[in-house]
Amino acid sequence: MITILNRYLFTQTIHCMQRRSFLKNSALCAVAVSATGFIRFNGTHYVGDCETTSDILGPFYRPDSPLRSNFVIAGEKGEPIELSGIIKHDDCTTPYKNAKVELWHCDGSGQYDNESPDFKYRGTMYTDDKGRYSFNTILPVPYGAGNSYRPAHFHMMITAEGYQPLVTQLYFVGDPWIEKDESASSPAAKRRILSIQQKDGGKKVNYDVSMVPKLAAEPAALDRLTGVYVNEKDANKKMELIKKENQLWMKGDKTNGMPFGMNMEYVNNNTFTIPGLKTETLSFVFEIQPSGAVKLTETYTNPKGEKSISVSMKSK
C-alpha cells in the first residue's frame, strides 16, 4: 500500500537520484535512499544525574486551563494534598524562572472535567525566581473497571523556553495498581512514584524537574502505540508500528517501499517525525481516545505548501 510517507520518500529519492551525486546532497536525501538504516537520535543522554522521564499525554488534556494553584472545591470529596517542586535547567542545579507548569487530574470519583467552563482539577501556574511551583489540590484516585484500573496519578506538562516541553505523570508509593499498569511499572517511571509525606497536618508530595533539550519517548508509552493502523477511508491501507531498541519503528516489507523499516523520532506531546525532518514537513500525531483506542494522524506538507492528511486507527 502507498501511504503519505511512501509518497514523500519516493519524491525525495527521485529528487536525489536526478542530482546523480545524491550522497553529496542534503542529509535528508542520504537518509531517504539509505538501505542500511536511518540516523537515530540517542535520547538516553542527559546532563548530570537528574533524568526526568516523559509519559504519554493521554486523552484528557485540555489546553488553556486557568491560572491558579488552588484546585480545592468546597463540598467535593477528596483528601487535600500539596504538590510542589523546583523546575531546573539541564545542569540539574540552576532554577528556571517563569516556566509554565500545567497540572490536571481526576476528581475523587475518578472522573475528569473534560467540558465544563470550571476546568475542575485543572490549572496553570508559572515558577517564581527560584524555580518553585506549588499546587493545592486533592489526591487523585485510581479509576477503571473490573481488573483493569489505572493507578492514581497527576498529569503534568512543563513548558520552558529553550527546552522540549515535558509531558509526564506522577504516581504514588503504595498504590496496588502500579504493578499492573504498563506506564507506571516501567523502570523509567521509578523516580515518578512519589512518597506521600505528612507535613503541618496535611499530605504533601514533592517533584523536582530538570529540563532537557530533547527527550526520548518512554518505552512503556511506546508499547501503547505499537500495533497495526488501518486507514479510516481505505481498510486496505495499513501500517504496522513496532518497538525496536526503545524506539518506535514502521515495520518494513516489500510492499511499502521500506524493506528495512524506518525509525520515528519523538518530538513531544505524542508527536513523532522521521529523523532529518521537521514536523512542519511530516508529522505523526497520536491521540489516545477515552475508550482506549489510538488514533494516528499523518500530515505531509510538500514544497508547494500543499498538505496531505491521513487518519488511521489502531486495530490491534
Q: For 27-39, how does the pLDDT look when each residue is reduced to its tens digit (9 = 90+)? A: 222 222 222 222 2
Is 72 part of a structural domain of the chain? Answer: no
With respect to residue 55, please indicate whether it lies within any of the assigned structural domains. Answer: no
How many domains, in total, are found in the chain? 2
Summarize pLDDT for 141-152 with one digit per residue, the tens: 999 988 889 999
pLDDT in tens, 173-184: 999 999 998 889
Question: Are residues 169 and 201 both part of a single domain?
Answer: yes
264 domain residue, yes or no = yes
205 and 237 in a single domain? The answer is no
Q: Is the pLDDT of residue 89 over 90?
A: yes
Q: Is the pLDDT of residue 6 over 60?
A: no
Q: Cα-flanking dihedrals φ and ψ of residue 187, to 5°?
A: -55, -30
* 246: CB partners within 8 A, 6+ apart: 216, 219, 222
Whether 183 and 237 share a structural domain: no
What is the distance of C-alpha 19 from the center of its chain?
38
Say if CB 105 and CB 73 are below 8 A apart. Answer: no
Please say which residue of 210, 240, 259 terminates a domain: 210
| Residue 5 or residue 246, greater confidence | 246
Residue 166's domain is classified under what CATH number?
2.60.130.10
All three cell numbers of 199: 507535613
Q: Could you tell me the three cell numbers for 71? A: 484546585
Q: Which of 10, 8, 88, 38 is nearest to 275 (CA)?
A: 38
Percent of the chain with pLDDT strictly greater than 90: 51
CA dist., res. 253 & res. 53, Å (int)? 32
Within 8 A by CB and 6+ apart from 112, the residues are: 60, 104, 105, 106, 121
Cell 513523532, residue located: 272
Domain end position, chosen among 210, 230, 260: 210
The mean per-residue pLDDT over the stretch 56-74 comes to 87
Query: Which residues fall within 8 angstroms of residue 287, CB to CB, at 6 or more apart?
Result: 59, 270, 294, 295, 296, 297
Of the listed ranges 11-25, 114-128, 154-168, the least confidently predicted one is 11-25
The answer as to whether 70 is a domain residue is no
* Residue 45 phi, psi (nearest 5): -95, 130
Residues 206 and 249 in one domain: no
| Residue pair 239/286 in contact by the 8 Å Cβ criterion | no
Print burial letters for 1-32: b (CB count within 10 Å at least 16), e (below 16). eebbbbebbeebeebbeeeeebeebeebbbbb
Determine what percent of the chain is predicted with pLDDT higher than 70: 79
- CA pair distance 261, 65, nearest whole angstrom: 40
Which range of residues forms the domain containing residue 186? 80-210
Reply yes or no on whether the pLDDT at 310 is more than 50.
yes
- Alpha-carbon torsion, ordered 116, 122, 124, 125, to 10 deg: 130
Question: Which position has the higher pLDDT, 48 or 136?
Answer: 136
User: Are 89 and 196 in a shared domain?
Assistant: yes
Instruction: Judge whether 95 lies within some domain.
Output: yes
Identify the band that residue 267 occupies on the pLDDT scale cut at 50, 70 and 90.
confident
Question: Cα(35)–Cα(29) distance, rounded to whole angstroms?
Answer: 12
- Give me the pLDDT at residue 14, please: 34
Q: Report pLDDT for 5.
A: 57
Q: Is residue 199 part of a domain?
A: yes
Clarify whether residues 205 and 119 are in a common domain: yes
Indicate if 121 and 238 belong to the same structural domain: no
The answer on 188 and 85 residing in a single domain is yes
Q: What is the pLDDT of residue 276?
A: 66
Same domain, 151 and 206: yes
Output the pLDDT for position 57: 65
Task: Say which residues have a Cβ less than 8 Å from residue 161's Cβ, sequence separation at least 6.
Answer: none
Asked, for residue 171, whether it belongs to a domain, the answer is: yes
Residue 267's closest CA among 254, 258, 276?
A: 276
pTM beyond 0.75: the answer is: no
Does pLDDT of 279 surpass 80?
yes
- Dihedral of alpha carbons 59, 64, 70, 75, sign: negative
Q: Which of 168, 193, 210 is the endpoint of a domain?
A: 210
| All cell numbers assigned to 77 | 470529596
Same domain, 120 and 239: no
